[in-house]
Amino acid sequence: MKARALAVAGAFTFVPETYPDDRGLFVSPFQHSAFEAAVGHPLFPVRQTNHSHSRRGVLRGVHYTLTPPGTAKYVYCARGRSLDFVVDVRVGSPTYGRWDSVVLDPREFPAMYFPVGVGHAFLALEDDTVMSYMLSGEYVPAHELAVSALDPALGLRLPAGVRPVFSDRDRVAPTLEEARAAGTLPQYAASCEAEAALWPAQGGRA
């Protein structure tokens, strides 16, 4: 499995080896040893798994979780194709306001790791796009927040020819600066502390 650090501090992408044959293929989108070698600690204890199904053009995000408690994610695309964004919304982070993107699909099965406190968005590039998530925390509606994926100050680069389809919540989400002024964005120090607390037996992040 190949690993690469992304432009947002603490975020990574992973590409596993696939094993195709005349029956289909076999792949392991998550591999513990490769993850720990790249990130510096084990994957978080999984508290919830999510499955989303989207038609072409659906844009979900930019979503983040109130921190603390915060939530870390490990995400891959099981079917279809998506353009996934990690956005640093952690106030005080060395990469605050920066973002990176990876095309996720079931051809090479790349995956992304989102540390606690960062934002996540994705655009479905094909109909029948299925995303699979492992999360460090369970879903609590009051903890789920968003900033606008169309915030010009963020400047997320969306492909031409795809008209985004939003939920009502995402359509009216504030800009990054509006969320910062409202005091709803995670603090970088608190995000790092919340992430370290996921591994108390190991003494936190290595």
93-104 burial, b at 16+ Cβ within 10 Å, e below that, comes to bebbbbbbbbeb
**Residues in contact with 162: Cβ distance below 8 Å, sequence separation at least 6, in sequence order:** 56, 57, 123, 125
Confirm whether 120 is a catalytic residue.
no
Which residue(s) pair with 63 in the sheet?
120, 146
| 106 phi/psi in degrees, rounded to 5 | -90, 30
Distance between CA atoms of 150 and 166, rounded to whole angstroms?
A: 11
Catalytic residue among 63, 74, 76, 120: 63
For residue 142, what is the DSSP state?
G
| Tally of CB atoms within 10 A around 87 | 29
CB 112 within 8 A of CB 122: no
Q: Does the annotation mark 63 as catalytic?
A: yes
Q: What is the DSSP letter of 152?
A: T
- List 159's β-bridge partners, or say none: none
* Distance from the first to the final alpha carbon of the chain: 21
Question: Given the structure tokens 């460090």, which residue do they identify?
Answer: 136
**Catalytic-labelled residue, pool 76, 133, 139, 143:** 133
- Which are the catalytic amino acids? 63, 133
